[in-house]
Structure 1
Amino acid sequence: MDILTEALSSMRTGQPTSVRTEGRAPWGLRLPPVAGAGFHVVLYGTCWLVPLDDAPGLAPVALSPGDVVFLRDGRGHILADHPDTPAVPERPDQFRPSLPIGTVSIGGDGPRTSLLCGNYHLDQGRPHPLVRQLPEIIHLPTRHGRHPELSAAVQLLGAELENPRIGSTGIVPALIDSLLLYILRAWFEDRPAATAAGWAAALGDAAVAPALTAIHEAPSTAWTVESLAGRVGLSRAAFARRFTHLVGEPPMAYLTRWRMTTAARLLRESEAPLTTVAAQTGYGSEYAFAKAFKREYGQAPGGYRREARTA
């Protein structure tokens, strides 16, 4: 069980969207907040990412060729050739449709910068704690041999966008979709497991990681703290302390969270009857499941399903 993939899949509410941004100095583009997580990939040239004034504590970030930046909450920000360059909002007349994705062009006649900009549609109303613990901005330089898999994905994207050929329309969205996993893998692997806190350590912990895998693989199992502790060879108390410290909530609270997350995904993505959804998430009756679901989501499962289908 790949917990990172499962956690992200549980939050997805749609396919990623993206646009290529072509700037020639002087240029500055003000980007509004997006529903989900934002990202930028520098394909050519250099630029700055400047957080808006409502983001105290976040400093401008200098970006170089091959760099990737991830904005956890999709907050509004500015991209510019220099932090002091005035920024303008994105306008429809700057957009040129093209294959495999559209292009926004802005600026004067100075040095060129080319970026891939976009967002991943993630449910930020109920973020998985793995995502919630990420920094607001993740900056991953890929030059000088750092993060070779991420660097390879960026190079492939750049090649497809510079020279679209047969198949590019299918290849580019797939690469953008995979990019999110490469970004988060690189960030987690940069955190030494022995010193990191939270999920960066939990995913590599000899006791907590197998327990998380068991919960994700079989949410319908009648897990208890004792049974999970027994699987990893710890006492009930020692396991509970270790799990809570790294994951940020007790084992049974996380089990309930994952059961409800799994149920919500089944309701959104399948036609399974409520009795089946209840059984697959560890509830002995539709009534018990509906009561737990309403307590967690504030509405009955049937209403949630109807609302999700019409959104």
Structure 2
Amino acid sequence: MDVVSDAISAVRTGRPSSNRLRVGGSWCTRLAPYAGAGFHVVLAGGCWLVPDTGGEPVTLGAGDVVLLPHGVGHVLADSPGDTARAVPFEEMRRPAGGGDGREVELLCGKYRLDRSRTHPLMAELPEVVHLPNRVGRHPELRSAVDLLANELDERRPGACLALPSLLDLLLIYMVRAWMSEAETGSWPSVLSDPVTTAALRALHLDPAAPWTNDRLAAAAGVSRATLARRFTALVGRAPMAYLTWWRLTLAATRLRDTDASLAAVAREAGYGSPYALSHAFSREFGVTPGKYRVSAGSS
């Protein structure tokens, strides 16, 4: 798998959920903070998004997509003023006539995320990722939005499977689009650097391999000193430190999502024995693998 796919897979749990919202006239609704990530797709009309954290209001138009990767609470409304009038999203009802006749249609949803193992790429996403509908920009994202709108309209056979799959694609395309336009954050730079990208690809492709700095440098086609300097400067961890963290992250994912034995999890994560994994895991997460599995299963 590539780094972006791994970063999303490690943190995502369950299936995304979504609701279609149609409103008109004067309206204002609040979405409470969420432990995962929220998103909105404006299918028709326009509205405003006002973050609870005091960030600048964002105007949204037809075709716009917005991701709230850290689940910040926010208000959606016909105008950015007087958010005190907001009603909970769960209580929103389509007004019966009245207003100025303008109707807004949105797809609002959530991704379930396990923040105990957030990859740094996902962690550095801003509170609000606004991706305006611009002609010629991010064609795959635009295609996903069009497909989502069709599934919502048609309710054709297989829609129950197609819709969550399209929502998963939407998350990937939103992260890709942010990376292509980001003016801040280190990971867009990390993945545009050929040396660091080659090293990360090698580690993610086969994390259980007996990696050393020399072997990884050879895979990246540079000297050990060059790899150490560039990787550490961009990623923020030395190559072997990143590998240790990623192996333990993979182990935690396997413990949470499967019934694989501790020996199998250790082997897949590159540890020679369950004891070696348990020692490293406890140091990283503060609990044994067994206790982690129990707590993850009950959450």
Length, aligned pairs only:
296
Percent of matched pairs sharing the same residue? 48
The whole-number CA distance in structure 1 between the counterparts of 2:153 and 2:270 is 50
The alpha carbon displacement at 1:93 in A equals 4.9
Pick from 211, 228, 241: which aligns with 1:253?
241
The whole-number CA distance in structure 2 between the counterparts of 1:140 and 1:92 is 25
The whole-number CA distance in structure 2 between the counterparts of 1:20 and 1:105 is 11
What RMSD in Å do the two structures reach over aligned CA positions?
Answer: 1.9
Structure-2 residue corresponding to 1:100: none
Whether 1:220 and 2:211 are equivalent positions in the alignment is no
Query: TM-score, normalising length from structure 2?
Result: 0.93
Report the 3-state secondary structure (helix = DSSP H, G, I; strand = E; otherwise coil) of the residue aligned with 2:194.
coil
Structure-1 residue corresponding to 2:36: 36
The whole-number CA distance in structure 2 between the counterparts of 1:145 and 1:105 is 34
**Cα pair distance change 1:170/1:275, threshold 3 Å:** closer
Whether 1:268 and 2:248 are equivalent positions in the alignment is no
Whether 1:16 and 2:16 are equivalent positions in the alignment is yes
The whole-number CA distance in structure 2 between the counterparts of 1:232 and 1:159 is 44
Structure-2 residue corresponding to 1:88: 86
**Cα pair distance change 1:91/1:187, threshold 3 Å:** closer
Q: 2:40·2:66 contact (CA, 8 Å) conserved in 1?
A: yes
Structure 1 unaligned blocks of 5 or more: 95-103
Query: TM-score, normalising length from structure 1?
Result: 0.89
Letter in 1 for 2:189: A
Q: 2:2·2:205 contact (CA, 8 Å) conserved in 1?
A: no
- 1:155-212 Cα offsets, whole Å, 9 max, x none, are 1111222332333222222211210001111122235xxx976211222321111111
Report the 3-state secondary structure (helix = DSSP H, G, I; strand = E; otherwise coil) of the residue aligned with 1:13.
strand
- 1:229-272 Cα offsets, whole Å, 9 max, x none, are 12222222221121112212221221011101110111112222
**Cα pair distance change 1:196/1:81, threshold 3 Å:** closer
- Map residues 1-311 of structure 1 onto 2, 5 A cutoff: 1-52=1-52, 55-56=53-54, 58-86=55-83, 87-90=85-88, 92-94=90-92, 105=94, 109-110=99-100, 111-191=102-182, 198-311=186-299
Pick the structure with more helix per residue. 2
The whole-number CA distance in structure 1 between the counterparts of 2:214 and 2:90 is 59
Q: 1:278·1:285 contact (CA, 8 Å) conserved in 2?
A: yes
Report the 3-state secondary structure (helix = DSSP H, G, I; strand = E; otherwise coil) of the residue aligned with 1:179.
helix
The whole-number CA distance in structure 2 between the counterparts of 1:42 and 1:143 is 13
Q: 1:66·1:141 contact (CA, 8 Å) conserved in 2?
A: yes
The alpha carbon displacement at 1:131 in A equals 0.5
The whole-number CA distance in structure 2 between the counterparts of 1:43 and 1:14 is 25
The whole-number CA distance in structure 2 between the counterparts of 1:153 and 1:41 is 11
**Cα pair distance change 1:50/1:93, threshold 3 Å:** closer
Q: 1:26·1:85 contact (CA, 8 Å) conserved in 2?
A: no
Q: 1:198·1:248 contact (CA, 8 Å) conserved in 2?
A: no
Letter in 2 for 1:80: A
Q: 1:41·1:117 contact (CA, 8 Å) conserved in 2?
A: yes
Letter in 1 for 2:99: D
Moved more, 107-116 or 179-188: 107-116
The alpha carbon displacement at 1:91 in A equals 5.8
**Cα pair distance change 1:197/1:245, threshold 3 Å:** farther
Moved more, 180-189 or 167-176: 167-176
- 1:76-98 Cα offsets, whole Å, 9 max, x none, are 0000010015442326554xxxx
The alpha carbon displacement at 1:125 in A equals 3.0
**Cα pair distance change 1:80/1:92, threshold 3 Å:** closer
Structure 2 unaligned blocks of 5 or more: none
The whole-number CA distance in structure 1 between the counterparts of 2:186 and 2:21 is 35
**Cα pair distance change 1:180/1:305, threshold 3 Å:** same
The alpha carbon displacement at 1:44 in A equals 0.4
Q: 1:243·1:249 contact (CA, 8 Å) conserved in 2?
A: yes
